[in-house]
Amino acid sequence: MAIGIIVCGVGGRMGGAVVRAIQQSANFKLTGAIDKPGSARLGKDAGEVSTAAHLGIAITDNIDAVLRPNTVIIDFTNPQASLGFLRSAAKRRAPMVVATTGFNPKQQAEIKRLARRTPTLLSANTSLGVNVLVSLLNKAAKMLGDDYDVEIIEAHHRFKKDAPSGTALALGRSVANALNRDLDRVAINGRQGIVGERTEKEIALLSVRAGDIVGEHTVIFGGIGERLEFIHRAHSRDTFSHGALRAAEWLAKKKPGLYSMQDMLGLY
C-alpha cells in the first residue's frame, strides 16, 4: 500500500522536487500540498506547479484540513513554518520529516518536546551520501586526531538565506565531537586581516554563495606534508527528495521520538 505524503513548501525548489519524486515511485502518493498563506499558488494543482502531471491535489495553506491517518509530512520550508506544521503533526500523531535548516536553540528545544508525541526525523540534509560522509568524518577525525587542521568549505546558490549551511554545521559537529571539541566555541566563520597563526583547535566553516549551485561541501584535514579531502557534490535536488522519501518510509513505522538520517541509515 502506498504511503500518503503531505509536502510542505510545495512551491519551493525542494517541495517541487519531492512532488516529482513521488510521481516516479509506486511506494508513495501525494495526499496534501501546503504553501504559505497568501501565495499565488493556493488553489492550483500541485502537479502543475511542480511541473509534474496533473495530480488532482489542490495547494492549501491549512495542513489540518489534509492530515489523515497513515500519512507522513515532508517539510522543506523555514523554521517558523516548520514548527507550526510540527505542532499540528504532534496533535494527530503524524510522522514528520523536518528538512528545514536554521533553527535557533529555543526552536530546537521545542522540536525535541514535540517529538515526544510523534515520530520526527530532523535532518539538515536528506542526501544519503552526505549522511554517510558525516559518519566517515567522525571516524577519520578520531584516527587523525589534533595533528590535522580541519577546514570546511560549502557552496550554494545565491538564494540560500542561512550561512554556514546546515550541512556544513552537521559535518563540523561530527568532526568536533570526535575530537572532544565544542563547535560553538572553536568554529571560525571566515577570516580577514592579520589574524595570526591558525590555532590548533579551530574548525573553519567557509561559505560561498553564487549562481545556481545546488550544494557542494569539502572537508579538508590538513597535516604537515599531506592533506586528506572529502568532497560531496549534489548534482541535482533529486538526491535530497529521494532521501526524504526514504526517510518518510522508514519513519512511518517508528514510535514517537526524535530521529536523524544517521538513525535511518544505521550509522553510528
Q: Which of 156, 217, 232, 242 is catalytic?
A: 156
Catalytic residue at 156? yes
Catalytic residue at 160? yes
Q: Which of 36, 160, 201, 254 is catalytic?
A: 160
- Cβ atoms of 209 and 160 closer than 8 Å: yes
Active site residues: 156, 160
